[in-house]
A and B are shown apart, each in its own frame.
Chain A
Amino acid sequence: MADRAGVIHDLGYRHYDGPRDGVATIARTLFVTGLRHAFGLGRSGKSKILPFLLLGLSTLPAAIVVGVVTLVGLSDLPLTYAGYTNQTQLLVSLFAAAQAPVLFSRDLRYRSIVLYLARPLPAYVVALTRWASLTTALLVFTVLPVLVLYAGGLLAGLDVSDQTTDLLKAVALLLLVSSMLAGITGFISSVSLRRGFAVVGSIVALVVVPGVVTAVQAIASEEGAEQVGVAAGLASPWSLTNGLASAWDAGVEVFTPPEGGWVVAYLAVAVLIAGVGLAAIVARFLKVGSQ
C-alpha cells in the first residue's frame, strides 16, 4: 500500500488487490487437490503407501502378462481388458474403500467443511467435485494397468483395431463402475465419519455383497433358475458391470449372463446407483452445511 508508511522491519498488513478466481477455477483446484489426495500425494509419506501398494499390485499382473505375451509370442492376450479388471476387482474395491474416507470423511469429521462452505463454492459443487475426484482416481487406478496391457499388446504386434475396440469397451465399463463405486463409498464415508467404519461399510458393499451375489448366481445357474441369478446381479456394482461386460461381449464370463431387456435394466440400475450415490452425497453435504 503506497499510502501506508510502515517502519522498515514491519511491512504492516498488506491488502490483496490481485485477481480472484471464479467458481469454476476454484472447483478445478479442489478437484485436482482431491485427486492428488486420493493417491496420498500432497499428504504425509505414510498415506502414500496404501494407494501405491494397491496400484502396484493391480498393475504387476499386467506387466507379467505383457512379458509372457512378448516372450512366448502369443497372437492374442490371454484375457481381455474388461476381464483383467474383473480379476483385480478386489484391489479396486479396497482402493475405493480406503481412499473414499480421505475425500469424504475428513472434511466432515473435522468440520473443516464449514470453512469450505463459508467460501464461494456452494455446498453442492463441493460435493460434486469430491465425487468427481474419487471417480477420476478410480478411473486412473483401473485404466492404468489396462493401458500397460494395451501398450504391451501393441508392442508385441497384436492387431491394433481389435485391441483398440476392446480397450474402448473396457474404458466405458470402467467409467461406469468408477462412478458407481465413488457414489457408494463416498456416501458411506460421508455418513460414517470414523474412518474404520467407513472402510468396513465400503468393503461390505463392494466385496461382501458382490461375493454373495456371485454365490447366488452360481447356485441359480446350477439349479437352472437363470432368471433368479440375473435378477440377483442387479444388487451389486460389480455384478452389474460384469453382467454388462458379458452382454457386450467384452470378454467377461458370468454364471447367469443377462439378455434382452435385462441388459437395459442392468444399465439403468448401474446409472441409477451412480446417480443416487451422487445425490445422496450432495444431500449430505447440504445438510452438514446448514448445521
Chain B
Amino acid sequence: MTGDSGQVIETTGLTKHYGQVHALTDLDIEVGDGVTGLVGANGAGKSTLIKILLGLLEPTSGGARVLGHDIATEGQEIRRLVGYMPEHDCLPPDVSASEFVVHMARMSGLGASAARERSADVLRHVGLDEERYRPMGGYSTGMKQRAKLAQALVHDPRLVFLDEPTNGLDPAARTDMLGLVRRIGSDFGIAVLVTSHLLGELEQVSDHVVVLDAGHLLRSSATGDFLEQTGSLLVEVVGGTTERDRFGEALAAAGLTCRPRGTAIAVEPAPAGVSVHDLVRDTAADLGLGLMRLQPDRRHLEDVFHDDVPLGDPIPGGGPRG
C-alpha cells in the first residue's frame, strides 16, 4: 500500500460546525488505495466529510489533502481527479443515461469523441445495456444507481466517493452493486471511499474501514483487524442437533467451555496447556462423529458498535486496536 506521503486522503484536525451542530470534530484520518469503507449512522458526518474533501464545503478548522492536493487551495485540481456519486437522486428524468453520462464526461474535460467512447465503456461496466437509451425518469432504483455510478467513473478518476451506493436496492441489486464497488477498487485500480450505514456490507468489500460516530472518529483500521480472531473455535459435526449436543457435552466433559451456535459449537479458548484442536479431533474420533468444520471464530463488523462503543463516550482519535 501507499506510504505516508502517498495517502489518497489525509485529514488533520478536520472540524465542521453548523452553528451549534457539530458535524465533524477534530477528525484525523488517512485513507490509502483500494476500497475504504466509511461507516456511521445517518447524521454521523459521512456526507459532510465527502463534501469537504470535494472542496464544496469549507471546514470550520483543520485541513485535508486529497491525492496530494490541499482542499483549501486546490479544490479545482481535486475535482478533476475524483468522481462523486451522491447519496440522493441527481438524475434529470428527461434525458437518457447515455446522453447524460456523455455530457458529464464533457463537464470533466473530455473531448466529444473521448466522452462518447468512455461513456459507452463505463455504462457497459456498470451493467446498463439497452436501457441506457431510455429517459432516466423511467429507471428503477437499481438502474438509477448504476447511472449515477457511471457518471462518477466516466472521466477515469483516481478516486471515487460513493455515498450510500446500495441505498434503496433490493438484496440482489445490492450484491451486484457491492461487487461493482469491489471491482472498481481492485480491477479498475481506482481508490474508493464508500459510505454505508450497514456495516455488514462494507465488511464484504472494504480493505479498510473508518468508523464515524456523531462527527468523531471511532476507529480506523484494516477490515481484517475488525474481524479479528477471538481465539474461539467454531466446530461442526455431521448430523443434526442431537449429534451437536452429544459432541458439545463430550467436549465440556473434557474441560472445554462450549456453547451451541446454530448448527455449530463455539469453543472458547482453552486453559493454557490444552491443545483444543487435538482434543476436538480425539473427541470426535471417540464418538465416531464426522468433523465437518473447524474454523477460527471471527467477529463481525457490527461488534464494533455492540462491544467497543461505550455509548455517549466515543474514543476521540481512536487508532487501530487489537
Contacts and interface: CB of A to CB of B under 8 A. Distances in A.
Q: Do A and B come from one complex?
A: yes
A57 B110 CA distance: 39
Contacts of A15: 156, 189
B114 A18 contact: yes
A106 to B, nearest CB: 6
Interface-centre pick from B54, B106, B125 (highest chain A CB count, 10 A): B106
A167 to B, nearest CB: 35
A111 B86 contact: yes
Contacts of A161: none
A19 B111 contact: yes
Contacts of A25: 109
A112 B83 CA distance: 14
Nearest to B190: A13
Interface in B157-210: 183, 187-189
B109 A110 contact: no
A178 B13 CA distance: 49
Contacts of B93: 110
A42 B94 CA distance: 11
B79 interface: yes
Interface string B75-108: 0100110111010111111110001000110111
A21 interface: yes
* Chain A interface residue number, banded: 35 or more
Contacts of B114: 16, 18
A23 to B, nearest CB: 7
Given A13-B125, A16-B118, A106-B92, A115 B104 contact: yes
A73 to B, nearest CB: 50
B76 A23 contact: yes
B92 A110 contact: yes
B88 A111 contact: yes
Given A16-B118, A110-B91, A111-B89, A122 B76 contact: yes
B156 A110 contact: no
B57 interface: yes
A23 B75 CA distance: 13
29 contacts: A13-B188, A13-B189, A14-B121, A16-B110, A18-B111, A20-B109, A20-B110, A21-B110, A26-B108, A29-B106, A33-B103, A42-B99, A43-B95, A110-B89, A110-B91, A110-B93, A112-B91, A115-B84, A115-B90, A115-B151, A116-B107, A118-B83, A118-B86, A119-B79, A119-B104, A120-B76, A120-B79, A120-B80, A120-B107
Given A16-B155, A114-B88, 13 more contacts: A13-B187, A13-B189, A18-B114, A21-B110, A22-B109, A29-B106, A111-B86, A111-B88, A111-B90, A112-B92, A115-B86, A115-B90, A117-B56
Interface of B: 51, 54, 56-57, 76, 79-80, 82-84, 86, 88-95, 99, 103-104, 106-111, 114, 118, 121, 125, 151, 155-156, 183, 187-189
